[in-house]
Amino acid sequence: KNQVEQSPQSLIILEGKNCTLQCNYTVSPFSNLRWYKQDTGRGPVSLTIMTFSENTKSNGRYTATLDADTKQSSLHITASQLSDSASYICVVRVLVAGRRALTFGSGTRLQVQP
């Protein structure tokens, strides 16, 4: 079982619509959680980072939420655009044997159709 689970695996929406992507994690102790956007054939690019004390953070049309008690995060995309078509990856940073380590989710593949 993945320690960082993302849902749905894939999603198709129409341009202009909103959507929410989910990330549930079981890894601990939690340090921070980051959402990355990965365009096809490219490397991931950071969208936002959430620390333990943050509940909500926005970056343009992207809004991330974090509930550290339930170990859940979401990424809400408002007024989707064709350029939002990509994979969205949730990455949780934890402390392992005194060192910080990253655990990557397998991503949600979003397709925005005209």
Binding site for another protein (CB under 8 A): 2, 4, 9, 31-32, 34, 41-46, 49, 51, 89, 93, 99-107
Instruction: Give ∠ CA 74-6-82 in degrees, rounded to 5.
Output: 70
Comparing CB distances to another protein, the nearer of 38 and 72 is 38
Least Cβ distance, residue 76 to another protein (angstroms): 21
Closest alpha carbon to 8 in 88, 78, 91: 88
Element (DSSP H or E) covering residue 97? none
Secondary structure letter of residue 83 according to DSSP? G
Of 14 and 97, the one with the shorter C-beta distance to another protein is 97
User: Which CB, 9 or 114, lies closer to another protein?
Assistant: 9
Q: How far is the CB of 61 from another protein (least distance, A)?
A: 20
Helix (H) or strand (E) holding 5: strand 4-7
